[in-house]
């Protein structure tokens, strides 16, 4: 099968490319390397089943050609990370909304099955935990820049759904919860790679707020496995699925676990949200995935525990620094 992955040089896209190439698919990655990185896919270059197109997702003619040549389209290209969204709101909105519009139009024109990766951020500050696919989306006011991300991604979902209702364009929507693992960078705000890097350097771990806010962290390999299976499930078309973990942990406890697992001498430093992200910032207190729907659809069950994940991310950064990992990761 010929598969197109937009944003395939990114953290999640590159893991997806690995799986699809290993399965014998011909994979084309389209990426503009704005947040994607060459080192994520360097090992695939020269592989007979791998092809790289260096282009912006907004370039209609290129996207159209790539979609026309593909049997399946995984649309992952997007602005990512709370820091990037707060610092570059215009780029965030334009990349997400315009990029998805271009991809959907091409998929509709050639009737290509497409999987849209949305985000748990669309649930916003809803307090009805765990979040289920049918729940209302509760986002904050437009002067708070963070919500531009949720709103743009929600619009992507509405657009994909509109194509499905209008012309039965085969589309699956996936809401990715906090997805972590090797290759993720902390540059755009993501907490786990930041904590692990801080711990490995014995620097203080920077917990924003009082650390009582909770998240559920899913290993990228579990997430990518779910994307591949949902794409091939006929009943998934026109549906939205949560993909993530339901092992809830507070950010304070996450910091403590990272320190323990890496054997670090680090302390924890509490930083007010205003200092981290500016005065208009608003965080959500709890974010937990209701996984009933995906469990029923594909028997989904995350294989990696939070401790496995922390170990894997620590090994990744230790290797990058040229040291020998002390703790072997427990899953392949
Ligand atoms: N966070 C933190 N320290 C950091 C980066 C993030 O305490 O250095 C917090 C952040 O405020 C949020 C949680 O960790 O409450 C998860 O942040 P991330 O950006 O990874 O994902 P989010 O769930 O906010 O999209």
Residue nearest to atom 14 of ligand 1 (CA): 191
Antiparallel, parallel or unpaired: β 248-250 and 214-216: antiparallel
Nearest to 193 by CA among 312, 38, 321, 36: 312
Euclidean distance between CA atoms 300 and 243, whole angstroms: 9
Contacts (Cβ under 8 Å, ≥6 apart) of 90 = none
Tokens of 149: 């991300």
Euclidean distance between CA atoms 75 and 234, whole angstroms: 18
Pocket test for ligand 1, best of 189, 194, 257 (most atoms within 8 A of CB): 189
| CA of residue 215 to ligand 1 center, whole Å | 9
Kindly report the average pLDDT of the chain as a whole number. 95
Residues contacting ligand 1 via CB (< 6 Å): 82, 178, 189-191, 194, 206-208, 213, 215, 251, 283, 287
Residue nearest to atom 3 of ligand 1 (CA): 207
Where in 95-224 does DSSP place strands (E)?
Answer: 114-119, 171-176, 179-180, 205-208, 214-216, 218-219
Q: Point out the residues of the chain with pLDDT beneath 70.
A: 324-332
Q: Give 232-261 pLDDT, tens digit per residue.
A: 999 999 999 999 999 999 999 999 999 999
Residue with tokens 């099968």: 1
Task: Please say if 188 is a catalytic residue.
Answer: no
| CA of residue 256 to ligand 1 center, whole Å | 15
Entry pTM = 0.95
Residue with tokens 């649930």: 123
Give, as one character, the DSSP assignment of residue 115.
Answer: E
């Amino acid at each position: 099968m010929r598969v197109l992955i937009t944003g395939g040089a990114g953290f999640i896209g590159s893991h997806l490319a690995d799986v699809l190439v290993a399965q014998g698919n011909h994979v084309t990655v389209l990426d503009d390397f704005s947040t994607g990185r060459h080192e994520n896919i360097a090992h695939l270059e020269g592989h007979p089943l791998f092809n790289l197109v260096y282009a912006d997702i907004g370039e209609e003619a290129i996207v159209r050609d790539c979609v026309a040549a593909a049997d399946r389209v995984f649309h992952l290209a997007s602005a990512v990370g709370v820091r990037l969204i707060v610092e570059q709101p215009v780029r965030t909105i334009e990349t997400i909304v315009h990029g998805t519009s271009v991809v959907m139009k091409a998929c509709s024109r050639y009737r290509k099955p497409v999987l849209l990766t949305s985000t748990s951020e669309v649930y916003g500050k809803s307090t009805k935990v765990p979040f289920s696919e049918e729940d209302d989306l509760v986002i904050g006011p437009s002067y708070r820049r963070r919500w531009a991300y949720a709103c743009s991604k929600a619009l992507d979902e509405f657009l994909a759904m509109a194509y499905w209702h209008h012309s039965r364009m085969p589309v699956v929507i996936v809401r990715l919860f906090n997805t972590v693992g090797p290759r993720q960078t902390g540059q755009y705000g993501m907490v786990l790679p930041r904590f692990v890097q801080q711990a490995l350097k014995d620097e203080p771990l920077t917990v924003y707020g009082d650390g009582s806010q909770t998240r559920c962290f899913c290993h990228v390999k579990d997430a990518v496995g779910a994307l591949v299976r949902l794409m091939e499930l006929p009943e998934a078309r026109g549906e939205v699925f949560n993909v993530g973990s339901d092992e809830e942990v507070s950010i304070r406890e996450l910091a403590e676990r990272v320190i323990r697992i890496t054997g670090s001498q680090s302390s924890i430093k509490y930083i007010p949200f205003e200092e981290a992200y500016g005065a208009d910032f608003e965080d959500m207190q709890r974010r937990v995935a209701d996984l009933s729907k995906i469990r029923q659809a594909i028997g989904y069950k995350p294989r990696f525990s939070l401790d496995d994940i922390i170990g894997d991310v620590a090994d990744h950064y230790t290797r990058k620094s040229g040291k020998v990992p002390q703790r072997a990761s427990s899953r392949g």
